[in-house]
Structure 1
Amino acid sequence: MTDRVKTASLLATAAMIICPASAASAQDASGEASAASSGGLEEIVVTARKREESMQDVPASISALSAGELDRRFDSDVRDFADSSPNIVIDDTQQGPGGVAAVYIRGIGVADVEKSVDPAVGVVFDDVYIGQSSGSLLKAIDIDRVEVLRGPQGTLFGRNATGGVINLARSRPTYDLTGKARLTYGRFDTWKIEGVASTGLSENVAVKVSGAYEKSDGYIFNRVQDQPGQRSKFYALSAALLFEPTDNLDIQLSYDHQKTKQDPPQLLAINRPTDLFCVAYAQCSPSPGVPTSGDRYVSVSDGRLERNATFKLDMAIAKATYDVGSDMQVDYIFGWLKTDEEINQDFDAGPQTLYHTDRPARWRQTTNELRLTKGGSGPLTFVLGAYLWDSRYTINLKNYIGFAGPPLLTSAQDVTQTNKSWAIYGEADYEIFDRLTLTVGARYTKDRKSSIVNDLPVFIYGTTVEANPIATLPGSIVMAAPVKESWKKFTPRVSLRYELSDEAMVYALWSRGYRGGGFNGRPATIGAATIPYDPETLDNYEAGFKTEFAGGRVRLNGAAFLMKYKDMQQDLDVPAPGTSTGRENRTINASSAEFKGVELDLTARLFDGFTLSGNLGYLDAKYKDFFGDIYSTGTPVDASFLKIRRAPKWTWSLGGIYEADIGSNASAWIAGDVHYIGGHEITFLNNPNLRNNGQYLVDASINARFNQTTVSLFGKNLANEKGWTIGYDVQGVWSYAAPRPRRTWGVAVTQAF
C-alpha cells in the first residue's frame, strides 16, 4: 500500500468514514427525526420527473442530496456534489473567470471554454437549463435539493442532455419567518458570509432574500511577482417572491445578481524537451509531468494580477403553476440569463509574453417552457412539454503572440453565434397490471445555428511593447454574412418496471440522446469557420434494481448500462500553417464509441445515530471506430487506440455520519467521506505528462449544535491530492494544466432562526 493510500485510509478512519455520499433524504427535519426514531431510513422524495415521487419508484439511475444533507456539508459549488453519485467527474478548467465547468457523467462531457459548444451534461437551476460551461459551477447558496440523473434525459427537461443532468433546486419562500446565516473562515485567508431569510408579507404573498460574500488569496503563489496569484472576491444577491392569488394558482419570481473579481487563473506550463517553448525559450519541465516552475502550486506567469478578471451573472426566472384538478397541473417557466466576462490570461504560463489572450465575452439566453403534468396514484401519469430556446454569444478575442518570429504580434477575432431551438417532449407511466409499469417517452428537437467570424488586421511590433507597429497584415477570415445550418432529431425512451415486492423492484430501459451540431468558436481558417460539425447521438441500454431490506435500515440500488455513441463530438488543437497563431481549435466527429459499466448505491443505518453510505462506479469507455486526421498532417489515421478523456475505470465514495445528544437541546456529530477517482486521461491525445493517477479525496468535519447555533471544524482534500483539473495540448508548441485545490480547513458558525 502506498503512503498516499495509507494517509487516506487513516484520515478516513479518524473521520469515522462518514457523510452520506450516494443518496439523501428530501424530507424535512421532522421526517428525518421520525425515520430515525423508527430505526429505518427516511424516504427519499425526488422531483426530477416533474412530480413528487419516491426515488425507489424511479426506473432510472438517480442520486440525490436534500436540504438536510446539504446543511451538514461544506460545499462551495457544483464540484463538491461529485461524490454524491458514481461515475461522475466535475472540474474547474481554470480557463476563464467565474469558474468554467467540465462536468462528465459516465465519461460523457465537455471541457471546452468556448460557448459555441453545447454542454453534454445539463446543469439545471430552478428548472432553467444553463447553456454554457462558464458560470455553471454554481455556488452552493440556498440549495435545497440536488439530483443527479445519469444517462440521456431529453424526455423530461427542456434541453437535451446526452450524458445526464445535475438538477439543482432552491427552497420556496415561506410565510413564517425563517432563515439562517453562516460565517466561515478557512485556509488561504478565505472569508465567507452567507445568509438567507424568508417571511410572509400577507396571507398570499411571501418573500425570500439571500446573499453571499467571499474573499480568498487562493492556493497558487506567483513567484515571478512574489504574491498570491489567485486572489478573488465574490458576491451574490438574490430575491424571490411567491404570490398565491387563489388556492389553485401560485406564481414565483426570482432575480439573481452575482459578480466575481479575481486574478486570472494561474495555469502551469508542462513542456516536453521537443516543444517549441522548451527548445527556443528554455521554458522546459524539469522532469516529465512537472511544471516549469517545479511545483504545482507555484506559478511563474507574467500575466496581470490586479483582480482584472471579472464575471457578472444576472438571471431572472418566472414560474406559474395552475392546478386544474384531477391530479393535473400546468406549469409555465420563463428563464433569462445574461453573463458578461472580461479576462486577460497568460496561457503560456511563463515569465515571457509568448501567448496571452484578452477574451471579453457576452452570453444571453432566453427560455420558455410549458408543461402539463398528471400525477396521482392512477394507472396513468405523464408529463407533456413544449420548449423554446434562444441564445446569442459574442467574443472579441485578441491574441498577444511572442513566439511567431518578431518580438510581438497581435491578432484579433470577432465571433458571434446564435442558437434557436424548439422541442416538444413527453413521458408517461402506465400501470399495465399490478406491479408492472410501462414508461414511454419521446422528444422532437429542431436546432438552428448561425456563426459569423471576422479577423481584424494583424499588427507586428519591433519590441515587446504594443506601440508603433512595423507591419500590418490582413486577417485570415473575412465573412460578409453569417453561415447557417439546422438539424432535427426524434429521440425516444422506453422502460419497464416490475415491483417484486413493496421493498424491491427491477427495471430495464432504452433511451436515445442527441446533441446538435455547430460551428467552431475559435477558428483560424475559413474552412473551420464555415463548415459545421455534425450532431452526435447516443443509445443507452440499462437494467437496474432498487431495494430496501433489514426492516428499512438498508437501501441498495444498482444498474448496469451499455451506451453506444455515433459521431461523438471531440475538441482538439491542430496546426493551422499560415495563420497568425499557427493553431486552431476544432470540434470533430469520432465515428463511434462504446461505454459500459456498473453503478451501485448503498445507504445503511447500522445503529441508531450512525448511517453509513457509499457508491461504486465501474466504467469501460472505448472508441470503436475512429478514423481521422487527429494530427492535422492531411493523412487520416486509425485513432481508436486513444483513451476517452475523464472516463476513469473506477470511482467510489464511502462515508457516514454519527450523531448523539450531548445535553438538553444540544447535539454533536462527526462526519467524513473518502471519494476515489481512478486514473484517467484529461487530454484528447493522451499526453502522458498530463495524465491523472488515482486520487483519494478525503473530507471530514466535527460539529456541535446548541439550540439553533452550530459550530463546525472542517477539512477538505485532507490527503492533499494534487491531480490536474485541466490539461491542454498545443501540439509541438507547449502544454498547460491546472491542479485541483490544495488541502484546506476552516471553522464555520451557522445560526438558524
Structure 2
Amino acid sequence: MRGSILALGAIGFAPAAWANEAPAEDQQASPAGSQTSIQEIIVTAQRREESLQKVPVAVTAIGSEQLEALRVNSVRNLAGLAPSLQLNTQGQQSNPTIIIRGVSSGTSSNSVDPKVGIYIDGVYIGRAVGSLLDFSDIQRIEVLRGPQGTLFGRNATSGAISVVTAKPKGEWGVRATGSYGNYDAWRGKVSLDLPQIGPFFIKLSYLHDQIAGDVANTQAGRSLNIALRAPEFGTQRYVDRLGYRNVDAGQVAIHADFGNLTADYRFDYTDSNASGRAMQSFGVIPDASGQLLAPIIGLQSFFGGQTNLGVNGPLNSVAAATSNEHTVTQGHSLTLTLQANDNFTVKSITAYRKFRQDPVVFDLGAAGGLRFTFNQLGALITPGLTPQQIQGALFNPASAPGANDYFFPLLSARATNQSQFSQELQFQVTNDKFDLTAGVFYFHERSPGTEVLSILAPTPSATIVPSPLDAAFGSGITRTVGVNDSMAGYGQLTWHVTDTFDITAGLRGTIDDRELDIGVISGAQGGSLGVGKYKAEYKKLTYTGIATWRPTDQTMIFAKIATGYVSGGILSGIPYRPESLKSYEVGAKTQFLDNKVRLNVSAYYNDYTDLQTQNFINGRQFFDNAGKAKIKGFEAELDIVPVQGLTLSGSASYTHFDYDTFILNGQEVAAFARPTYFSPWTGRAAAVYNSPEFKGGGHVMALLEGRYRSSYFLTSTPLRNIMTGQPALENFNKQPSYWLLNGRLGLAEMPIGGASVSISAFGENLLNERYISFGAPVLLFTGTFERGRTYGVEASIAF
C-alpha cells in the first residue's frame, strides 16, 4: 500500500497539476510540499491513454485530489473549473443547463437531446435530466471543449464531460471523511479497497450528502390533490423549505485480470430527495396571457394572496406549490479489453442505465399563494360584461376564495422514466507509423413520461380540476413515450509523418431513429401540441481533420477542423431539425522553465446551422431551430510552480456570439436576440500552498481560489412590463458579473496510530454573492437566486 495516502479533502493543486499524473496504480506518494515542477497528466480525450500535452484537443483534466479539496462529487460542481464551462440549474435540481463555448445544453423534456455529452466510464448518458449524478469516489473528470463528434458521437457539438470513477487497487485500504457546515450540511464518504482475490480487485464506496433549504415556504403543510386528473400522482404535499438536498450514493468497482484479457465492471446508484430553488416573481410578461393575469395579480391584496414579488433581491420566504423531488438513478457497465498483442487492442463497452423521477410538482410560475376562483375568472374572460358587472362578480362574497382555493398561472406536475442500453465495440492499432481508433456503436432508450399542465387555472379545495381555458392553452394530462435508436460507425487515423509532425483524419456516420407517442388522458390538447404517433429518421456524416507539429519536446501546436451534430426530434408534436456545426480551431500546449510553467491556449471559430433553442410562448415550452450563429473565442490555462510547495494557476476565456438569423414565433429577431445564460468572459485564479513536512509528520495546506463570470441574460429576447409602478422586467433579465471566492485551510496527513488524519476548515462563496441562476418568462417573469455563503469543518482518515 502507498506509504502515504492523500487525505480526502485536504490537498489541493492547480487544475492541470491536480489531475492524475499517471494511472493510479503506477504512482508513488510524494512528501508533502515537495512538488517543484509540473508532472505529466494522462487523459483519455481521444479514447486512449495519452499525455495531456500531446493531445490536440482543448481539454482540462481535474484529478481526484482537486475534486476532494473543492468538494466536487458531481458534474453540478464543475462550473468555472475549466475555461468556457458554465453551469446553471433550471429551478429543479435535476435539470442542468451546461454551457461550453457559448452553446447551452439542457431541457426538462425527454424529447430533446443535450448538446454537451456526459460520459461515465465511457458510457454515454442520454438525457440531461438526471445527469447530475453524485459519486462517492471519482478518479478524474475531463472537460473536452469543441465538437467531439468523431470519437464521442452525436450530441457533443459544444463539448463533452467525461467522468472516470476510481479503480480498485487490490490491497487493503480504507478512506473516510466527514464534514459539517452551516445550513445543517452533513457529508460523509467512505471507500473500501479489498485485498486481491485471485484475479479480482474490488472497491466499494458510499456517499451521504445533505443540506437544508435556505428559503422558507409559507405553504408548508398544505397539499394539492392531482388524483382527479392523474390518479397515480395522488396528493402532493408541499415542502417546508426550498433548496434542500439529501442524497445517498454508492459505487462498486470490480477489476478482473486474466492476462491479455481484462474485465472492468462498474455499478453506481444515486437516491436523491430535493426541492427546487425558490422561484420568485419580477413581474408579468406582456403577452396575451399576461393581459389577463395582470389584474389577478393586482387584486391579491383584497383576497389575502401572496404574489412572491421580489424586486429588491432574494426573498427569505415564498409561497411555493413545490413538492419533494425524488429521483433514483443507477447504472451498470462492463468493459472487456483484449490486448491481442503490443499493437492491437479490442475493447467492448456494454452498459445499461435507468432513471426514475417520481411525481413532483414544481412552482415554475412562482405563484403558489395566489387566491382566485372560477367565478372570478369567468368575470374576466366572459365577453360583453360591463365594468360594473365585472367588478360586482370579482367582489361578490359568494365568489370569494375559500381557505383552500388557490389560483395558478402555471402549474406543472410530472413524472418521468428513462432506460437505456448501449453497446460499443472498439479497435485500436498503435505502431511507429500510425495510430488507429475505430469502432461501431449502438444506443437504445425508452423514456415514458406524464405531465399535468394547468395554465391560468383555479384549484378549488386544493384540487386540480378542468379549467375553461384548457382548450386555449392545451392544458390537460399528457402521456408521452419516446423510443430512440442510434447506430454509428467511426474511425480516426493519426499518421506520424515525421517524428514531429502528425496528420489526423476521422469520420463518423450516424443513423438516428426516433419515435414519440403523445396521448391525452383528460383535458384538451389543442392547436399545435399534436396528439398522435410521430416518427423521424436522421442521418449524418461528421468528420475531423487535425495537423499537429511538435517543434520541441515541450511544445505542441495544432490546427483542427471538425464538425458536430445534435439529433433532431419532436416536442409537443412539433418536429425540429438536427443542429449542425463546423468548427475551426488552432492551439498550442507548452511547458518551460524546467517544467515549472505550463501554458495551454486555443482559439476557435464555430459556424452553426439550424441552431436548436428553447423558448416559452404563453407559458408553454417550445423547441425550435432558431437559425444560424457564428461563435468565436479564445481560451488559456496557466499553471506555475514558482517555489517548492506553492502552485499558482489561472484560466481565462472569451466568447463572442452572433446570430445571423433567429426566427422566434415566426419573426426574425436576430438583431436583438442573445443566447441565454451565456457569459462572454470566464476566469479562474487559484493559489495552493503545502508546507514542508513537520518533523513528526503532517503539514499545513492552504487553498484560495476565485471564479469569475461576466454578465448574462436569462431570456433570448428583451422583456418589458405592463404593470404600472414596477421597474421594467429587463432590469432583472441581466445578471451582473460576479466572483465566487472559495478557500480551505488545514493540517494534512498527520500520522496518528498508523493512520493518516487530516483536519480542515472550508468556505465556499465567501463573498456571499446572491446571483440569479435561472429565469423563466412563463406568464410571470420568474427567477431563482443561488444560495449564499457556506462554510464548515472537515476531518478525514486513511489507512
Q: Does the alignment reach a TM-score above 0.5?
A: yes
Match of 1:157 in 2: 152
Hey, what's the Cα distance between the residues in 2 that align with 1:166 and 1:372?
Answer: 22
Distance across 2 between alignment mates of 1:648 and 1:273 = 24
Which residue is 1:568 aligned to?
611
Partner of 2:451: 397
User: Could you tell me which residue of structure 2 aligns to residue 752 of structure 1?
Assistant: 798
* Paired residues of 1:678 and 1:695 also in contact (CA < 8 A): yes
Query: 3-state DSSP class of the match of 2:637?
Result: strand
Q: How far off its partner does 1:685 sit?
A: 2.1
Once residues 654 and 529 of structure 2 are traced to their aligned partners in structure 1, the CA distance between those partners, rounded to angstroms, is 48
State the one-letter code of the partner of 1:672: L
| Compared CA separation, residues 349 and 379, structure 1 to 2 (3 A) | same
Q: Distance in 1 between matches of 2:282 and 2:443?
A: 40
Aligned-pair CA distance for 1:158: 4.7
Equivalent in 593, 598, 602 of residue 555 of structure 1: 598
1:506 aligns with 2:557: yes
Counterpart amino acid of 1:393?
A: S
Cα 1:200–1:21 shift into 2, 3 Å:
closer
Structure 1: how far apart are the matches of 2:600 and 2:60? Answer: 10
Tell me if 1:237 matches 2:237: no
- Relative to structure 1, is the Cα distance of residues 704 and 278 closer, same or farther in structure 2, using a 3 angstrom cutoff? farther
User: Please, which of 25, 39, 50 is the counterpart of residue 42 of structure 1?
Assistant: 39
**2:767 aligned with 1:713, yes or no?**
no
Distance 1:122 1:518 in 2: 17
Whether 1:139 and 2:134 are equivalent positions in the alignment is: yes
Q: 1:438 to 1:477 in 2, by over 3 A?
A: closer
Relative distance call for 1:474 and 1:744 in structure 2 (3 A) is closer
Q: Partners in 1 of 2:676 and 2:457 — Cα distance?
A: 29
Give the whole-Å Cα distance in 1 for the aligned partners of 2:343 and 2:81: 32
Q: Which amino acid aligns with 1:549?
A: F
> SS where residue 509 of structure 2 aligns?
strand
Shift of 1:684: 2.2
1:416 pairs with one of 454, 465, 481: 481
C-alpha contact (below 8 Å) 2:559/2:587 kept by paired residues: yes
Indicate the residue corresponding to 1:300 in structure 2: 318
Distance 1:278 1:225, change over 3 A: farther
Give the superposed CA RMSD. Answer: 2.6
5 Å-filtered alignment, 1:5-16, equals none
Instruction: Determine helix, strand or coil for the equivalent of 1:68.
Output: helix
Map of 1:743 onto structure 2: 789
Matched with 1:426 is: 491
Q: Residue deviations 1:24-59, cap 9 Å, x none? A: 331259567389757221111112212221111011
Contact 2:134–2:249 under 8 Å retained in 1: no
Q: Does the 8 A contact of 2:519 with 2:532 survive in 1?
A: no
Aligned length: 691
Instruction: Report matched runs for 1:328-343 at 5 Å.
Output: 328-342=344-358, 343=360
Write the distance in 1 (CA, Å) between the matches of 2:657 and 2:477: 39
Corresponding position of 2:63: 66
Deviation per CA, 1:530-560: give whole Å up to 9, x if none.
Answer: x411001101100011111111100011011
User: Cα deviation per residue 1:648-691 (whole Å; 9 max; x = unaligned)?
Assistant: 11111000200102342211110021100111112222442232
Q: Deviations over 1:580-617 (max 9, x none)?
A: xxx43221112210010010010000111101001010
**Counterpart position of 1:665:** 697
Structure 2: distance between partners of 1:331 and 1:205 = 19
CA distance in 1, matches of 2:296, 2:312: 19
User: 1:475: Cα distance to partner?
Assistant: 6.2
Please tell me whether the aligned partners of residues 192 and 203 of structure 2 are also in contact (alpha carbons under 8 angstroms). yes
Kindly state the Cα deviation for residue 474 of structure 1 after the two structures are TM-superposed.
7.3
Report the counterpart of residue 269 of structure 1 in structure 2.
Answer: 281
Give the alignment partner of residue 82 of structure 1, picking from 76, 79, 84. Answer: 79
The answer on 1:540 being equivalent to 2:535 is no
Q: Find the counterpart in structure 2 of residue 388 from structure 1.
A: 442
Instruction: Answer yes or no: is the 8 Å Cα contact 1:183–1:750 preserved in 2.
Output: yes
CA distance in structure 2 between the aligned counterparts of 1:84 and 1:652, rounded to whole angstroms: 9
- Aligned mate of 1:26, from 20, 35, 56: 20
Match of 2:473 in 1: none
Task: Give runs of aligned pairs for residues 686-725 of structure 1, distance below 5 A.
Answer: 686-687=718-719, 688=730, 689-705=732-748, 706-707=750-751, 708-725=756-773
Q: CA deviation at 1:269?
A: 2.1
- Please say which of residues 556-565 and 159-168 is displaced more in the overlay: 159-168
Residue 186 of structure 1, CA deviation: 1.3
- Local SS of the residue matching 2:80: helix
Change (3 A) 1:487 1:566: same
For residue 743 of structure 1, report the CA deviation from its aligned partner: 1.0
CA distance in 2, matches of 1:321, 1:37: 36
Matched residues in 1 for 2:131 and 2:438: separation? 27
**Whole-angstrom distance in 1 between the partners of 2:481 and 2:610:** 25
In the other structure, the counterpart of 1:461 is: none
What amino acid is the match of 1:99? S
Give deviations 1:431-454, integer Å, cap 9, x for gaps.
Answer: 111201111111100101011112
- Of the three residues 684, 695, 715, the one matched with 1:653 is 684
Selected match of 1:727 from 775, 780, 784? 775
Secondary structure of 1:279's counterpart equals helix
Native 8 Å contact 1:571 1:586 kept in 2: yes
Given that 1:25 and 1:42 are in contact with CA atoms closer than 8 Å, whether structure 2 keeps it comes out as no
Match of 1:360? 415
Mean Cα displacement is larger for which, 143-152 or 19-28? 19-28
Tell me the CA shift for residue 636 of structure 1.
2.5
Q: Helix, strand or coil for the counterpart of 2:627?
A: strand
Contact between 1:19 and 1:672, CA under 8 Å: does it hold in 2? no
Q: For residue 515 of structure 1, what is the aligned residue in structure 2? A: 566
C-alpha distance in structure 2 between counterparts of 1:478 and 1:622, whole Å: 31
Aligned residue identity for 2:19: S
CA–CA distance in structure 2, aligned partners of residues 210 and 405 of structure 1 = 46
Residue aligning to 1:680: 712
Q: Is the 8 A contact 2:203 2:252 kept in 1?
A: yes
Q: Does 1:92 align with 2:89?
A: yes
Q: 5+ residue gaps in structure 1?
A: 1-17, 459-472, 524-528, 576-582
CA distance in 1, matches of 2:645, 2:529: 68
Contact 1:690 1:724 in 2 (8 A): no
Q: Which amino acid aligns with 1:509?
A: K
Confirm whether residue 210 of structure 1 aligns to residue 232 of structure 2. no
Q: How far apart are 1:476 and its partner, in Å?
A: 6.2
Query: Which of 660, 678, 702 is the aligned partner of 1:624?
Result: 660
Percent identity of paired positions between Structure 1 and Structure 2: 25
Identify which range, 126-135 or 346-355, moves more after superposition: 346-355
Hey, what's the Cα distance between the residues in 1 that align with 2:714 and 2:29? 40
User: What SS does the corresponding residue of 1:606 show, helix, strand or coil?
Assistant: coil
Hey, what does 2:235 align to over in structure 1?
none
Determine the C-alpha separation between the residues in 2 that align with 1:480 and 1:332.
Answer: 40
Q: Give the SS at the match of 2:575.
A: coil
Contact 1:448 1:485 in 2 (8 A): yes
Question: Does the CA-based 8 Å contact 1:23-1:63 persist in structure 2?
Answer: no
Q: Which amino acid aligns with 2:441?
A: Y
Q: Which moved more, 1:400-409 or 1:202-211?
A: 400-409
SS of 2:136 mapped into structure 1: coil
Task: Name the counterpart of 1:483.
Answer: 534
Identify if the C-alpha distance between structure 1 residues 119 and 742 changes in structure 2 by more than 3 Å, giving closer, same or farther. same
Contact 1:690 1:737 in 2 (8 A): no
Q: TM-score of the superposition, structure 1-length normalised?
A: 0.87
1:251 equivalenced with 2:263 (yes/no)? yes
**For 1:598 and 1:283, how far apart are their aligned partners in 2?**
51
Distance (Å, rounded) in 1 between the aligned partners of 2:652 and 2:347? 36
Contact 1:372 1:383 in 2 (8 A): yes
- Residue 651 (structure 2) aligns with: 615
1:136-171 CA deviation, whole Å, 9 max, x = no partner? 122242110011110010112254411101111011
1:435-454 correspondence runs (5 A): 435-454=500-519
Q: Is the 8 A contact 2:14 2:639 kept in 1?
A: yes
Q: Would you say the 8 A contact 2:744–2:763 is kept in 1?
A: yes
Q: Structure 2, unaligned stretches of length 5 or more? A: 1-11, 222-239, 302-307, 371-406, 467-475, 720-729
Q: Does 1:197 align with 2:202?
A: no
Instruction: Classify the secondary structure of the residue corresponding to 1:56.
Output: helix
